[in-house]
Structure 1
Amino acid sequence: MTAFIFPGQGSQKVGMGTELAEASVHAHEVFEEVNEALKQDLFALMKEGPESELTMTANAQPAIMANSMATVRVLEKEFGLALSDQADCVAGHSLGEYSALCAAGAFSLTDTAKLLRLRGIAMQDAVPIGVGAMAALLGADIEKASALADAAAEGQVCEVANDNDPTQVVISGHAEAIDRAIEMAKDHGIKRGIKLPVSAPFHCSLMQPAALRMKNALEATSPAAFTVPIFANVTAGRVTDPAEEKSLLVDQITGRVRWRESVLAMREGGLERFVELGGKVLGPMVGRIATDATTVSLVTMEDLENFAKENG
């Protein structure tokens, strides 16, 4: 059994999608459609940069989704491999949950691009620049990371944002609390803490204003039925009901990305193979979580051709 998985923020890089767009008119159409939806030449930014602009949350989120969806579109149109035939479920890391829903038919490409643009802006606006921060804790499991976050908070917000895999947990909150956590990391048996180059403290309670904006946006653009179940970030559970998923997408803004638990839940549900679309970030994480799972990353036309040969 196969899960199709979709990467999140941090997987963007200048040049993304270029090779695919040159090789396939169907990929190019995806980027054109996203440009049209956002009234911006986002694909030019993806191709040429500058990196500082591509990394901005409001650009990075729709760009990563567009890259993933171009990969899905090429699989379907060039190779005749529909997601609903190839995948038994989908999942995505943070914004990747929107890519997963788009791929499974819950949102149109245009609506997904607009939702992610709004999500990026709302998350950026929720906390003034410099007030919040995030750090990756290397060599930390969830227990050590939670204990460190509690110790470093000192009345401020310091919370576990992403439980990525058994060796990496990300914390988020007030900048001073994150700095304290980095200083205290070794005392908590954690190899080290590294501040992340992000412009806002995602997936913590400081994001509440963004959650309210997304709640309103998702009332106006609710997910439709999806072709395969999705494993939701905030519960690490299997979801088939669009109404339930809509409320989980709101909770996801302030809630923890339970990626490690999601992979374990998928593995326990009989999923043996994890296919990452448009990135090479989640595959290595899956390998560290479920060492007996098979992982495949589909980024280039060659990747897609090889996958089609084996699965056509």
Structure 2
Amino acid sequence: MSTLFMFPGQGGQQPGMLHRLPDHPEIKRTLAGAADTLGTDPLALDSAEALQHSRNVQLCLLIAGVAMARRLISAQAEPDWLTGLSIGAAPAAVIAGVLSFDAALRFTDLRGRLMEAAFPRNYGMTAIIGLDTETVRSLVQQVHSPACPVYLANLNAPTQLVISGHDRAMQDVATLAQKQGATRVQRLAVTVPSHCPLFEPVARSLQQFLVTCEMHRPHYHYLSSSDARRLLRPEAIATDLAGNVAQPVRWHDTARLAWEYGIRLAIEMPGGSALTGLSAPVMPDTRVISSDTTPIETLIQLTQRSSANLG
């Protein structure tokens, strides 16, 4: 029985998320390392005001994910597999040993700054619930134009999709979706149009940055949520890290693949429980839980038990 650590992307962040991390030497070490690299106290990044900026959100998710995973691993509660949605791929790469925490912090800082600079206002992401992929794809094609772009971005579940683009275009798609019978449309807490071709220039810049970083083969299995496949080579993981900002997310396929690989315990790292909710229906006999809502002692016991059963 294998264990998967899942690292979420933007949307589930909450004020105070770094302050609520467990009091443990590994947590303190991670926060101190972040402070050294960033030149500022990372605890200043998780205020409500600071989280209005994508760069701060992404850094918080990286720091929180690495800190929590390190805390569990320090108690011999180790994963067998790692995956991350969007910026969640960065903490997954750190825990896999592919990229140093210092390099991941600099990568994430650059990623957030480039994304915000490219589209500082009037863009974002919207979830559409209750319609299938082809229906939403058709609505996007009806609305999209070069002057007012919109794209299908996240394939989270068969009837839970996310579009990305200009505010007006997203609203037009949302209106059409409701007429088609969508049960809910919701603007996400994301201020940039992630996972679409608008960010291809950003992806190229991030790839150039990663060329300067030392990277290693993963010592845990690494799943890409963009390609929905296992990646082994550092070069392939670098391409995944840089390119996922401009690629659709295939979370449903990734969770299904994880189940097919025999994963029977999946733990979502901070923050939130979005991946927990998306993954549980796809992994019917897998225990899927969130670290934000499960006591740390329970997380340790379950992971240790999973490792013992595997052995």
Return the TM-score normalized by structure 1.
0.89
Take 2:227 and 2:214, find their aligned partners in 1: how far apart are those partners? 19
1:80 to 73, 76, 85: 76
**What corresponds to 2:131 in structure 1?**
140
Deviation at 1:222, TM superposition (A): 4.7
Take 1:102 and 1:6, find their aligned partners in 2: how far apart are those partners? 11
2:50 to 43, 50, 53: 53
1:278 to 266, 270, 282: 270
Deviation at 1:264, TM superposition (A): 1.0
Deviation at 1:311, TM superposition (A): 4.0
**What corresponds to 1:290 in structure 2?**
283
Cα deviations by residue, 1:79-107 (Å, 9 ceiling, x for unpaired): 233x3xxx221101110011111111111
Take 1:307 and 1:224, find their aligned partners in 2: how far apart are those partners? 28
- 2:217 matched to 1:252? no
Q: Secondary structure at the match of 1:16?
A: coil
Contact 1:30 1:69 in 2 (8 A): yes
**What corresponds to 1:115 in structure 2?**
107
Deviation at 1:177, TM superposition (A): 1.7
Alignment of 1:1-312 (within 5 A): 1-21=2-22, 23-46=23-46, 49=47, 51-77=48-74, 79-81=75-77, 83=78, 87-130=79-122, 132-155=123-146, 156-279=148-271, 280-299=273-292, 303-312=295-304
Return the TM-score normalized by structure 2.
0.90
Cα deviations by residue, 1:160-213 (Å, 9 ceiling, x for unpaired): 111112332110123332121011112333223222342211111111221121
Cα deviations by residue, 1:196-252 (Å, 9 ceiling, x for unpaired): 342211111111221121111111125321112211122111111111121222321
Unaligned runs of 5+ in 2: 305-311
Contact 2:11 2:189 in 1 (8 A): no
Contact 1:232 1:262 in 2 (8 A): yes
Take 2:303 and 2:200, find their aligned partners in 1: how far apart are those partners? 43
Take 2:20 and 2:167, find their aligned partners in 1: how far apart are those partners? 38
> What is the aligned residue count?
301
Contact 1:157 1:173 in 2 (8 A): yes
Contact 1:26 1:70 in 2 (8 A): yes
Take 1:71 and 1:247, find their aligned partners in 2: how far apart are those partners? 25
**Greater RCO, CA 8 A, separation 6+:** 2
**What corresponds to 2:309 in structure 1?**
none
Q: Secondary structure at the match of 2:268?
A: strand
Deviation at 1:128, TM superposition (A): 4.1
Take 2:20 and 2:179, find their aligned partners in 1: how far apart are those partners? 46
Contact 1:144 1:190 in 2 (8 A): no
C-alpha distance 176-311 of structure 1, shift in aligned 2 (>3 A): closer
Q: Once the two structures are aligned, what percentage of the paired residues are identical?
A: 27
Cα deviations by residue, 1:265-286 (Å, 9 ceiling, x for unpaired): 1112222221112232211111
- In structure 1, give the amino acid aligned to 2:6: I
C-alpha distance 129-139 of structure 1, shift in aligned 2 (>3 A): same
Q: Secondary structure at the match of 1:20?
A: coil
**What corresponds to 2:308 in structure 1?**
none
Take 2:14 and 2:124, find their aligned partners in 1: how far apart are those partners? 21
CA-based RMSD of the aligned residues comes to: 1.9
C-alpha distance 53-229 of structure 1, shift in aligned 2 (>3 A): same
- Structure 1 residue ranges, 4+ long, deviating more than 4 angstroms after superposition: none
Take 1:15 and 1:251, find their aligned partners in 2: how far apart are those partners? 30
C-alpha distance 133-307 of structure 1, shift in aligned 2 (>3 A): closer
Contact 1:125 1:210 in 2 (8 A): no
Contact 2:154 2:195 in 1 (8 A): yes
Contact 2:10 2:190 in 1 (8 A): no
